[in-house]
Every structure is written in structure tokens, then in C-alpha cells.
């Protein structure tokens, strides 16, 4: 009976939030309380400075402390220097401070903060503490779910420092940025839920942008995503990221993502 109740809770959670499990942005919803999510994000992007591609891998562990607060730890590795090397890591926290729930919709807002360290060379104007720079980011995210459609938007402030004493941040680059995102996700299948084991298929389109505060240089990318959720617990994402506009130097702006995600629910029971 206890196991059945846990499965029912998972089912309800999956119905309400599957289409807002975005790939490159976080919604205002959190990992469920006392649940652990393991995530491995891989990417291959065309290098703008060499003839090859840059492969990156980012494993993550996320834990829901309660319904409003979750914590995440990430690690970064890539082959920027020809060999696959560990480059740094990140810690992240998100607190949901507002929630308005209805039968077929909800609206949520959350505040988040992240600190990352990195030991690689700084070779681009784009600020990105998730894999390239040492620094911090803080911001607010709002997410609206209406039946099978989720819309989420984020605004954040990002500040970077020297990666190491040997890899200083260039004086001619701006060190602070404003980031902004807009994401859409829609549940395409199933049309009607009949079982916990049904595969979910979601289509998403995410827009990710940044403006360097010191000089006004900016970029905007589009990321179409197809997402599969198996047995209400395992997840596979496939995506392509494409630069739409840019006025800044970027090392790798176009490429593909493969994301694997698994959640262990209700660990304390």
C-alpha cells in the first residue's frame, strides 16, 4: 500500500511538470522533496577557432530538501585542450517563494544563486560560469503551466573573476552580464494518461540570451528540444543550439546536446 501511494504521488508530479523540465534553463518548480536527481549533460559544439568540435560533459546531482528548496552540485570537463580534462565545478541553490496552484494550471516564482570555479583558459567574451568562467550568478525565474503548455522566463546577473592566477580574466572583456531566457514546452504524448509507465514526449523551444553590461555586446540563441520521459522516472533529451544573432566573440555557439536524467523519489521512506 505504501509503495502504491508513492507511485501515485510520482504520477501526479509527472503529469503536472513533465513539460516544464527544460534542458538549458531551470523552471521555478523544484525536484520533489527528499528526492535525488542524477543528470549527465553532454554536448558537441563546432569550435570557432579550430576545425574540430568541442566535446563537453557535465554530470550533476540535485537534491530536494523540501518542496521549496533544492540544491545542486555540478562538475565540468571538456576536450578544449585536445584531451578530455576536468575543468571545475559549481554549486547551485533555488528557492521557490511563490506558488499559485489550480486544477489545470499553476504559476510559480523562484530565486536562485550559483557559484562556479574553473581552471581553463578564458578565450571568449561570452560569460558562462557553467563550464568556462569562475564567478557567480543570481536571478529570478517565473513559470506558468496551462494544461499541457509551460512557459518559463529567467532574468539573472552574472559576475566573473580570474579562473586562476595563470588564467586571468582579460582586462578588455566585460566581467558582468545580464542573462535572459524564454522557454516553451508542450506535452505532445500521451493525449490521455492511463498508466504510470506511459512514455511522455515533450517538444520545447528555448531562447537564451546575454548582454555584457560594460560594452552592450550581446547574443541570442534558439534551442529546439525533444524530450522523452520513461516510467515517470528516467529522461532523455536531444537538442540543437543555434546562434540567431551575436555581436561578441564566442568560442563555440552552434552544436548538439544529449542529456540523460534519472530521479530517485522519496528517499527517506
Provide mean pLDDT across the span 112-129: 96
Determine, yes or no, domain membership for 57: yes
- Cα distance between residue 164 and residue 148, in whole Å: 46
Is the separation of the CB atoms in 219 and 243 below 8 Å? yes
The pLDDT value recorded for residue 18 is 57
Q: Report residue 228 as a C-alpha cell.
A: 522523452
**Tens of pLDDT along 175-196?**
999 999 999 999 999 988 788 7
**Tens of pLDDT along 9-44?**
444 444 445 567 899 999 999 999 999 999 999 999
Of the pLDDT bands very low, low, confident and very high (cuts 50, 70, 90), residue 104 is confident
- Cα distance between residue 157 and residue 178, in whole Å: 5
Determine, yes or no, domain membership for 269: no
Q: How would you class 132 by CB atoms within 10 Å of its CB: exposed for 0-12, middle for 13-18, buried for 19 or more?
A: buried
Higher pLDDT, 231 or 2: 231
Higher pLDDT, 48 or 264: 264
Provide mean pLDDT across the span 248-253: 94
**Tens of pLDDT along 133-147?**
999 999 999 999 999
The pTM assigned to this predicted structure is 0.91
The pLDDT value recorded for residue 144 is 97
Coil vs helix vs strand at 48: coil
For residue 227, CA distances in Å to 168, 194, 236 come to 38, 20, 6
Phi and psi dihedrals of 48, rounded to 5?
-85, -10
Distance of CA 161 to the CA centre of its chain: 22
The pLDDT value recorded for residue 188 is 95
Q: How would you class 219 by CB atoms within 10 Å of its CB: exposed for 0-12, middle for 13-18, buried for 19 or more?
A: buried
Closest by CA position to 150, among listed 263, 10, 11, 23: 23
The pLDDT value recorded for residue 193 is 78
Of the pLDDT bands very low, low, confident and very high (cuts 50, 70, 90), residue 55 is very high
Q: How would you class 96 by CB atoms within 10 Å of its CB: exposed for 0-12, middle for 13-18, buried for 19 or more?
A: buried
The pLDDT value recorded for residue 19 is 62
Number of structural domains in the chain? 1
Q: Which of 71-80, 249-258, 260-269 has the lowest mean pLDDT?
A: 260-269
Say yes or no to pLDDT of 266 above 80. yes
Domain boundaries, position 138: 2-264
The pLDDT value recorded for residue 8 is 41
| 227, β-bridge pairs | 202, 237
Residue 47, domain CATH: 2.40.160.40
Determine, yes or no, domain membership for 181: yes
Q: Report residue 230 as a C-alpha cell.
A: 520513461
Say yes or no to pLDDT of 3 above 80. no
**Tens of pLDDT along 62-88?**
999 999 999 999 999 999 888 899 999
Amino acid at each position: 500500500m505504501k509503495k502504491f501511494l508513492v507511485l501515485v504521488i510520482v504520477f501526479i508530479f509527472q503529469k503536472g511538470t513533465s513539460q516544464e523540465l527544460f534542458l538549458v534553463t531551470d523552471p521555478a518548480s523544484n525536484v520533489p522533496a527528499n528526492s535525488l536527481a542524477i543528470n549527465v549533460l553532454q554536448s558537441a559544439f563546432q569550435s570557432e577557432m579550430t576545425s574540430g568540435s568541442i566535446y563537453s560533459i557535465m554530470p550533476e546531482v540535485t537534491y530536494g530538501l523540501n518542496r521549496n528548496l533544492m540544491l545542486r552540485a555540478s562538475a565540468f570537463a571538456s576536450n578544449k585542450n585536445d584531451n578530455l580534462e576536468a575543468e571545475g565545478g559549481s554549486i547551485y541553490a533555488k528557492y521557490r517563494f511563490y506558488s499559485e496552484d489550480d486544477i489545470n494550471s499553476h504559476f510559480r516564482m523562484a530565486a536562485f544563486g550559483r557559484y562556479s570555479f574553473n581552471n581553463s583558459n578564458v578565450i571568449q567574451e561570452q560569460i558562462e560560469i557553467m563550464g568556462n568562467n569562475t564567478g557567480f550568478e543570481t536571478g529570478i525565474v517565473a513559470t506558468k503551466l496551462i494544461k499541457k503548455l509551460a512557459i518559463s522566463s529567467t532574468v539573472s546577473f552574472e559576475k566573473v573573476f580570474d579562473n586562476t592566477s595563470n588564467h586571468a580574466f582579460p582586462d578588455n572583456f566585460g566581467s558582468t552580464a545580464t542573462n535572459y531566457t524564454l522557454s516553451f514546452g508542450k506535452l505532445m504524448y500521451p493525449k490521455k494518461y492511463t498508466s504510470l509507465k506511459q512514455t511522455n514526449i515533450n517538444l520545447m523551444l528555448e531562447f537564451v540570451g546575454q548582454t555584457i553590461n560594460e560594452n552592450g555586446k550581446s547574443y541570442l540563441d534558439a534551442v529546439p528540444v525533444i524530450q522523452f520521459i520513461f516510467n515517470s522516472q528516467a529522461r532523455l533529451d536531444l537538442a540543437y543550439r543555434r546562434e540567431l544573432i551575436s555581436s561578441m566573440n564566442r568560442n563555440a555557439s552552434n552544436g548538439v546536446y544529449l542529456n540523460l536524467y534519472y530521479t530517485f523519489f522519496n528517499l527517506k521512506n
